A and B are shown apart, each in its own frame.
Chain A
């Protein structure tokens, strides 16, 4: 990194002065089995999701979907549906109240109409929205609608779509061709030709990545109710602040303070659905119909409709790598042709740039549009970067007869610099100087038994006839720690418990328990006495479960608020109380300074003499008051049924707020120091091509563990999701008709309890993260890295490289030359 660049980094991110605020002692932070705040609700079926919302008089809305991959509505007869018993409204694409374009939220390149007359993929919601007394009635009425379609030519394959005579997949958006010039993304550093010239060995390979998707357990839905002029909206969307901002632009503008957003628990979609440009399309239509009918409207997709759209890693990838005989990589050149990336196109060579010392790197992403649903970050956009780094590390090791662990260690670095350079940066920035990758590798290698079990590719047949394989992959912890977050904190009267207020969506990461831990430890309260109230909109929008930045941004906001609130409590404790219009009373702790006090377990005490103490509950006193305010001895009292001896503390409201605006990686240069390494053991049946995953070891340097159960849950949960995406999950379209063939859970196979023999989860705490207390996010990591790991594991088993993923039996047999 050049001098100017480094200066910019330090100025922009101010990491040297970044206050990581380690606490002298942690009480609940880092403790195992802190009771989950959402545990009882979720275990007992009491947790409410948007799909569960039932309101008096509520109508149910369903959309017509296109039977063709590319078609336009010429005419539509809805008369029978309008007369259908139980149908209350039929909203058509040609309705004058529907705008041509409206901001519907999500990542969008162009404005997307709520209800269009053109379908660009089979299954797209088009033409008409029918609302009825029940979902079933709306469904039946849809079947009576007669549509005259103009079918257009379509294309499904990205490489075919690049051919000069290919049909246009979306002439409305891309009139010139299926690859818009703005949809090409270039990145890199150095000069790859120079790097190839320095290499002893050049390795070239290609692989394809099939389309997988999120499969949110709760299907997409939403509810709109007009309370007079106020809009009350329930969204299944992990970004309530984005939803509200978009909604405020509708119908000529709705003032923000006239919109109430509820973001209940989310049957998670891992980014996915929440990032679709159209995710508020149903909400828009529901709002129009709710106004017309005077009734609340819930719109819903069915299970199949949730399968359109997917992760943005699908495509074809061409790689050229140069390496020295000792495994030092000199250059990486990569071209990816990806499917329908519906957000600003994402780089595919980022992990070589951010995470290695490779001096010459060039990446080119071409985001081609075909007649399939839009693909968005789905746990997550880094997926293809993980594939690239994984394949390159392991291909180089294989080509040179080296151990892939050594190749990783040899090329570890950042921004083209080596580990020594990174160590200097760690020290400059005030981090501990630790070798994260080496630590992760040592821990993982012992857990999987690498030294004993690793063998030459294709060299170990087991007694059961299967081929044994061991695989390794690695990368950095890429949490962006970016975004803005606001939370408020209030000490409740009567019992001194704490409510933390912040509107966010819950994806199940258990970040909310972690916020309570941070608040509790910072305030000196018991964690059981802190609750995060997350589902309702009172402002205070927080960073949502995107980009692994729940905790690494919101944790700062909570911590900041808690620190300010604690100061306020201690200051009030030494200040005169009862500032009424008549008089005031002596402080709770007379003749003391606030810095002489502290709080532990919800009790304020004098540090020099802890016997002088008062509970926070007593200090803040009861809620409300009536009648005379002083007792015969001059103590403020609450007269009434509590009796005259009940003291009124008359403290001001113990309410504060905190906030955090944090720049992430993509807005500046941030050197990433924490690493992860994962290991997989497989057995491959050479006759059937079946891959049996017997063990997975995940090792994540999370910097600092705040909530163990949450971190481990993301790691082993991610292992299952990753294994599914690497091995069995693929959305399949019929080439002849363009129709999706497996939009259901019988034919699109997500992992079960038996899909991995054993998962071992290891967490390393190096303290080198940019989040609170030196933490990094972990939500996206394992599910995103793991799919690629199956490649080297299968290669080690059968001695051949798979050329396509997921590693379905047919692809394994193809690699073996048997299919």
Chain B
């Protein structure tokens, strides 16, 4: 048996993932990333692959309350973890979504979901971030179209709505 053939014999493990409040039991090969599993096995394509090596933030999901890069997480390590993706944030009608549309934060849109997820994680832990805090939180998300200034406005507006203290409301 050649080395390559040996590599083909991989055991799949059943991993329990809690994604957007729904539990999934998924047969997972050890080398699969969380991003791959979300897209290919759970039908959640919103976590995008841009750089594929942890440099751009397009695949960000929230795991146990923290933003993580799903292209850098092995799915097998995520057993029992609570995961929130862009699809969950959209389903919950988070004010970030409308604020992002209102401020036209997307151009080609490929990286946009990753920004929304990172921003959501920021607002979860800091309901009233300063511009500097927003920049610091978002600096790991790359946008080739350069939509950056719009994100700051949208995040501030969503934060104000969440605090009940202003913004455009819904």
Contact = CB atoms under 8 A, between A and B. Distances in A.
A217 B111 CA distance: 7
A718 B55 contact: no
Contact of A42 (B39, B45, B109, B144): B109
Contacts of B142: 745, 750, 752
A140 B146 contact: no
A304 to B, nearest CB: 9
B108 A265 contact: yes
Interface string B121-157: 0000000000000010011111111111111100000
Contact of A713 (B47, B104, B138): B104
A38 B105 CA distance: 11
A44 B104 contact: no
A409 B40 CA distance: 58
Contacts of A759: 149
Contact of B46 (A45, A713, A719): A45
A35 interface: yes
Interface stretch (A62-70, A414-422, A507-515): A507-515
A598 interface: no
Contact of A217 (B53, B55, B101, B144): B144
Nearest to A35: B101
A801 interface: no
B110 A218 contact: yes
Contacts of A750: 142, 144
Interface string B75-110: 000000000011101100000110011111111111
Contact of A267 (B90, B101, B110): B110
A89 interface: no
Contacts of A751: 146
Given A35-B101, A718-B146, A745-B55, A43 B141 contact: no
Interface in A526-541: none
Nearest to B145: A717
A217 B100 contact: no
Nearest to A218: B110
B4 A217 contact: no
Contact of A45 (B40, B86, B146, B149): B86
A786 B71 CA distance: 33
A36 B149 contact: no
B7 interface: yes
Contacts, number: 169
Interface in A135-152: 136, 140, 143-144
Contacts of A719: 146
A753 B141 contact: yes
B146 A43 contact: no
A752 B138 CA distance: 9
B110 A217 contact: yes
Interface residues of A, number: 62
Q: Which of A43, A51, A140 has the most CB of B within 10 A?
A: A43
Interface in A29-81: 33, 35-36, 38-49, 51-52, 54, 80
A42 B58 CA distance: 12
A43 to B, nearest CB: 4
Interface string B1-33: 000110110000000000000000000000100
Interface in B28-54: 31, 39-40, 44-53
Interface string A699-723: 0000000000110110011111100
Contacts of B112: 42-43, 45
Contacts of A144: 4
Given A43-B113, A717-B146, A303 B108 contact: no
A750 B51 CA distance: 11
A49 B50 CA distance: 12
B62 interface: no
Contacts of B4: 80, 84, 140, 143-144
B116 A43 contact: yes
Given A36-B101, A750-B142, A508 B149 contact: no
B50 A217 contact: yes
Nearest to A214: B144
A51 B58 CA distance: 14
Interface in A93-134: none
B107 A268 contact: yes
A564 B59 CA distance: 46
Given A45-B86, A268-B145, A721-B146, A217 B58 contact: yes
B72 interface: no
B108 A44 contact: no
Contacts of B87: 44-45
Given A42-B112, A43-B113, A718-B146, A746 B53 contact: yes
Given A39-B106, A54-B40, A506-B108, 19 more contacts: A43-B100, A43-B105, A45-B85, A140-B4, A218-B108, A218-B110, A265-B110, A267-B50, A267-B108, A267-B110, A303-B52, A508-B108, A717-B107, A717-B145, A720-B148, A744-B53, A745-B50, A753-B141, A753-B152
The 5 closest A-B pairs by CB, nearest first: A45-B46, A720-B146, A508-B107, A42-B109, A39-B101
25 contacts: A33-B102, A39-B106, A43-B97, A43-B109, A44-B46, A45-B44, A45-B87, A45-B90, A46-B46, A48-B45, A140-B7, A215-B144, A217-B108, A217-B110, A265-B110, A268-B145, A303-B53, A709-B104, A713-B145, A713-B147, A717-B147, A744-B53, A750-B142, A752-B142, A753-B141
Interface of A: 33, 35-36, 38-49, 51-52, 54, 80, 84-86, 136, 140, 143-144, 214-218, 265-268, 302-303, 506-510, 709-710, 712-713, 716-721, 744-746, 750-754, 759, 783
